[in-house]
Structure 1
Amino acid sequence: MASLNVYSVLVVLFLTCGAVMAMKENDQIIKENNCETKMGLPYVLEAFTSIFKTGSISNKCCDELVVLGKVCHSALVKRTLENPIFNDLNPTTIIAKSIQTWNNCLALIDSPSPST
């Protein structure tokens, strides 16, 4: 029975260390890439609302998001999900919305504008 308790403690420690390492990894990515300074606050709020709530994202915000870069985008979304305020959100759903938003913005930016 004691070995079961030791095993349980080891599993909890492993999972906790993994979560702490992931958190530090996201923070390090954000810091090294100056992610928090690449996008204006109105666009950050618009992208956040689009991903974490419901809403659309404007073409200008898509421009800003693509300039921000996928690495920063992913790290910021993951770091936001680590915040206890967002415990009630389904991370899988948020990550899927994040990827969808990124792909939609990338397609919008990459598509040629119609001639007038």
Structure 2
Amino acid sequence: MASLNVYSVLVVLFLTCGAVMATKDNDQIIKENNCETKMGLPCVLEAFMSIFKTKGISNKCCDELVVLGKVCHTTLGKRTLESPIFKDLNLATIIAKSIQTWNNFLALIDSPSPSS
């Protein structure tokens, strides 16, 4: 349960990282696209866990992420990685996982559901 709290804090940082830590360009993109209001916190947590940990993600959250859009997904990820909290992470690995996560979302959304 303690690890869930840690990840919740990281997700809040992901969503609310201040302008001091983000470049003006990222903040403008986020504001112009209303990126911080398009996903619910539970789905943000699932997306975060799928990128920073090896976790799955529900179809509901895949739908929310696709509505969020690739621009928001990428920009929020970049802004998160600018935080000093993540300075010791391998950025190339995290970016690759972020791209893989996005592609997995699209594959889940595009795949036909089994007929009942």
Instruction: Please say whether Structure 1 and Structure 2 have the same fold, judged by a TM-score greater than 0.5.
Output: yes
Structure number with greater Rg is 1
> Mind listing any 5+ residue stretches in structure 2 that lack a counterpart?
1-19
What percentage of residue pairs aligned between the two structures are identical? 84
Q: Deviations over 1:52-101 (max 9, x none)?
A: 22211111111111110000000000000000001011111111000000
Tell me what 1:96 maps to.
Answer: 96
* SS class of match (2:23): helix
> Mind listing any 5+ residue stretches in structure 1 that lack a counterpart?
1-19
In structure 1, C-alpha distance between the alignment counterparts of 2:64 and 2:74, rounded to whole Å: 14
Query: What's the offset of the Cα at 1:114?
Result: 1.5
Tell me what 1:71 maps to.
Answer: 71
In structure 1, C-alpha distance between the alignment counterparts of 2:57 and 2:89, rounded to whole Å: 20
Tell me what 1:31 maps to.
Answer: 31
In structure 2, C-alpha distance between the alignment counterparts of 1:24 and 1:52, rounded to whole Å: 25
In structure 2, C-alpha distance between the alignment counterparts of 1:24 and 1:86, rounded to whole Å: 19
- Amino acid in the other structure paired with 1:68: L
In structure 2, C-alpha distance between the alignment counterparts of 1:34 and 1:85, rounded to whole Å: 24
> How many pairs are equivalent?
96
Tell me what 1:7 maps to.
Answer: none
In structure 2, C-alpha distance between the alignment counterparts of 1:90 and 1:31, rounded to whole Å: 27
* SS class of match (1:28): helix
Tell me what 1:56 maps to.
Answer: 56
* SS class of match (1:113): coil
Misfit runs of 4+, over 4 Å: none
Tell me what 2:7 maps to.
Answer: none
In structure 2, C-alpha distance between the alignment counterparts of 1:53 and 1:85, rounded to whole Å: 16
